[in-house]
Amino acid sequence: MEPLVEIRDVHKVYRRDQFDVPVLNGITLAVPRGDFLALMGPSGSGKTTLLNLIAGIDRPTRGSIVVDGREISRFTESGLAGWRARHIGFIFQMYNLIPVLNAFENVELPLLLTKLTKKQRREHVESALGIVDLADRMTHYPRQLSGGQEQRVAIARAIVTDPTILVADEPTGDLDAKNADETLELLHRLNEEFQKTIVMVTHDPKAASRAKHALHLEKGQLAEGHYGYEEKAAGA
Amino acid sequence: MKFAKLVIRNLFRKKLRLLFTTALIAFIFFFVSFLLSILYAFDNYSDQGKGYNRLAVQSAISLATALPYAHEVKIRQIPGVADVCKLQWIGAYYKDPRNFFANFAVDHDHMASVFDDYVVDPKEFEAFKADRQGALVGDELMTRFKWKIGDRITLKRQIFPYDPELTIRGVYHHPINKSALYYHMDYHNAAVGEWNVVGTFWLKISDPAKMAAISQQIDAMFKNSEYPTETMTEKEFQKSFMSMMGNIKLLFTSISLCAVLMVVLLAAITMSMSARERVTEIAVLKAIGYEKGLLLTLMLIEFMSVTVLGGLAGSLFAMLVFWKVNMAALTSGFLPSFSVPVEVVVKAAIASAIVGLLSGGLPAMRATRLSVVDGLRRVV
């Protein structure tokens, strides 16, 4: 299957005060289009950093990241923001909805950056909230929703622009078992029914088991080896 | 426009904080509008003779030093001087020192030609001229003391050794100077014992282009006399008169600037708190594609809305208050016909927008500059 994300020999070093802290050490992998990939590993292993690099909210210290045929590490800050708006849908652990906006307005936020008319935006938002089964909660504010509902609004916000990739950082980390299950089922549905490519960071084996593939990071390196996943993907 | 909802919702995010911040800004801008209006009134007062081609001749030593009547004869001989009118500041008050207002002894025969911007009913003016103890009173002063034509009034002395006993014979109307009283120079001179001296000579100049030359000519003429003169335009004279109260303009401007600076600092604290609370939200918006410049613009619009709202509220409230309050009575005539003009409200609105930009600029820049990763990691 054609790789959507190609990561080659990526290193990431953070500078904390006068110290260089290496987080990723030569990661190489490929994520095929339509995949549902779970990144696992202990705290500090670099899984969230890798997710951030794929999502274009951070830049590698060295190496190349190609998404959908474009080398994103070479984009300007402004170019990268525009690229994220078109290609990436974010799902966070803490949902990160804007508390002063209701569910409809939160989902509409990414669409305000497009040239869609008000009517078109409404159609898109209603459709996205329908997919996450929250069409009847459109006027509710985050404080009026349960954690699971908030996360579903966040997922609707992530899919409303029909992005190329969905990136999810511990999407079930703040949810109880029932809501976590529903969220994972929703992600599974988005992957199966809508062929969304999903990259999810999790430390929960149960959550990882819902993905098509799982990779493990240890001290900034893939436990499966530099090309392990690429080889699996090629053979898939 | 499509981002208006986001700005408005953020504006009303913490209603109590918005209320207190706006109230604080409004309070300070009320005070600043008051001070600026006083300066505006002074400037306006200085401009009252604009276009009437008048020169004022006073002693080169000080305004308090008198000039001899004899100077008038020599001044009249200078080509271009159309007329000369003697004017003496009396500085008396009515009944109580709190009832202070501007009062002058004037050369009644030459008043109409030199001060031709003062409008008086011809019959009343004739009656004023005919009565040696007659007085001409500004319309606003008449209202303030509920006087009417024919009333006999006695002013209390402060400078000269007599209490002027006057009969109101006429009311004058003037766009700026509405609260003064004028009576006969002859009566004053007789009351003080024929000193034959006066504080100022006011000259009507036939050709405005010659005002500077005539001014120099007069001062040169008396340069080596016992009573040297200083001749100036009406505007310069009014400014020099105002400066007798100290550099009030500098003082008021400094106080206004300090007050505005205080608002900038206080607003900056609030804006910083507001920006800090939203670091994660800003990071989320950046993550989903909002550019730094757009977020900075939205935050600045929000912050400036708070300060402009406060500034306008304070300034408009000042306008309303000083429209209702009789400042002439409250300030013993120091601020006759005082009001907060529209120009001051406009200035306050502009100043408050600048306050918003200055106080909100740095917090907004810091919040939007933070990287998405750092913003998402931040626990507020």
Helices (H), B105-170: 108-114, 122-130, 139-144
For B273-312, how does the pLDDT look when each residue is reduced to its tens digit (9 = 90+)? 999 999 999 999 999 999 999 999 999 999 999 999 999 9
More reliable by pLDDT, B4 or B330: B4
* Chain A positions in Cβ-Cβ contact with residue B289 (cut-off 8 Å): 81-82, 84-86, 110, 113
* Nearest one of B80, B46, B48, B49 to B218, comparing CA atoms: B80
Average pLDDT of B259-282?
91
pLDDT at A230: 44
Burial B312-334 (b: 16+ CB within 10 A, else e): bbbbbbbbeebeeeebbeeeebe
Which of B3, B9, B284 lies closest to A100 in CB terms? B9
* B180 phi/psi in degrees, rounded to 5: -115, 170
For A136-158, how does the pLDDT look when each residue is reduced to its tens digit (9 = 90+)? 999 999 999 999 999 999 999 99
pLDDT at B337: 67
Whether residue B355 contacts residue B311, with contact meaning beta carbons closer than 8 Å, is answered with yes
DSSP structure class, residue A72: G
Give the three-state DSSP class for A166. strand
Give the three-state DSSP class for A194. coil
pLDDT at B48: 61
pLDDT at A183: 93
d(CA A196, CA B20): 48
* Chain A positions in Cβ-Cβ contact with residue B2 (cut-off 8 Å): 112, 118
Whether residue B228 contacts residue B219, with contact meaning beta carbons closer than 8 Å, is answered with yes
* Chain B positions in Cβ-Cβ contact with residue A86 (cut-off 8 Å): 289
Residue with tokens 């899984």: A47
The answer, yes or no, to whether residue B106 has pLDDT greater than 60, is yes
pLDDT at A228: 41
Average pLDDT of A164-193?
92
Going along chain A from its start, the domains and CATH numbers come out as 3-235 (3.40.50.300)
Q: Which of residues 177-236 of A touch B (CB under 8 A)?
A: none
Contact B287 A55 (CB under 8 A): yes
Contact A109 B288 (CB under 8 A): yes
Contact B372 A57 (CB under 8 A): yes
Strands B165-173 and B134-138: parallel
Whether residue B37 contacts residue B338, with contact meaning beta carbons closer than 8 Å, is answered with yes
The answer, yes or no, to whether residue B84 has pLDDT greater than 60, is yes
d(CA B202, CA B234): 9
For B154-192, how does the pLDDT look when each residue is reduced to its tens digit (9 = 90+)? 999 999 999 999 999 999 998 878 889 999 999 999 999
pLDDT at A232: 46
**C-beta neighbour count of B358 within 10 angstroms:** 20
Contact A85 B289 (CB under 8 A): yes
pLDDT at B245: 63
**C-beta neighbour count of B109 within 10 angstroms:** 14
More reliable by pLDDT, B341 or B251: B341
Whether A55 contacts chain B with CB within 8 A: yes
Whether residue B57 contacts residue B75, with contact meaning beta carbons closer than 8 Å, is answered with yes
**C-beta neighbour count of B177 within 10 angstroms:** 19
pLDDT band at B329 (very low <50, low <70, confident <90, very high): low
The answer, yes or no, to whether residue A231 has pLDDT greater than 90, is no
**Residue B118 Cα to chain centre, angstroms:** 21
pLDDT at B316: 96
Q: How wide is the angle at C-alpha B184 spanned by C-alphas B179 and B189, nearest 5°?
A: 125
Average pLDDT of A46-62?
94
Kindly list the domain boundaries of chain B, sorted by start residue: 4-45+247-377, 66-226
Whether A47 contacts chain B with CB within 8 A: no
pLDDT at A225: 66
* Chain B positions in Cβ-Cβ contact with residue A92 (cut-off 8 Å): 284, 376
Whether residue A27 contacts residue A60, with contact meaning beta carbons closer than 8 Å, is answered with no
* Nearest one of B165, B118, B108 to B139, comparing CA atoms: B118
Which of A55, A82, A112 lies closest to B2 in CB terms? A112
Strands B93-94 and B134-138: unpaired
pLDDT at A235: 40
d(CA B60, CA B219): 9
pLDDT band at A117 (very low <50, low <70, confident <90, very high): very high
d(CA B229, CA B313): 49
Distances (CA, A) of B289 to A84, A165, A199, B231: 5, 14, 19, 70
Distances (CA, A) of B84 to B81, B103, B138, B200, B203: 8, 19, 22, 10, 5
For A23-44, how does the pLDDT look when each residue is reduced to its tens digit (9 = 90+)? 999 999 999 999 999 999 998 8
pLDDT band at B97 (very low <50, low <70, confident <90, very high): confident
**Nearest-10 crossing angle of helices A147-159, A118-131:** 130
pLDDT at B321: 92
Average pLDDT, chain B: 90
For B355-369, how does the pLDDT look when each residue is reduced to its tens digit (9 = 90+)? 999 999 999 999 999
pLDDT at B51: 60
* Chain A positions in Cβ-Cβ contact with residue B292 (cut-off 8 Å): 77-78, 81
Q: Give the minimum alpha-carbon distance from B283 to chain A in angstroms, rounded to a whole number.
A: 10
For A73-107, how does the pLDDT look when each residue is reduced to its tens digit (9 = 90+)? 889 999 999 999 999 999 998 899 999 999 999 99
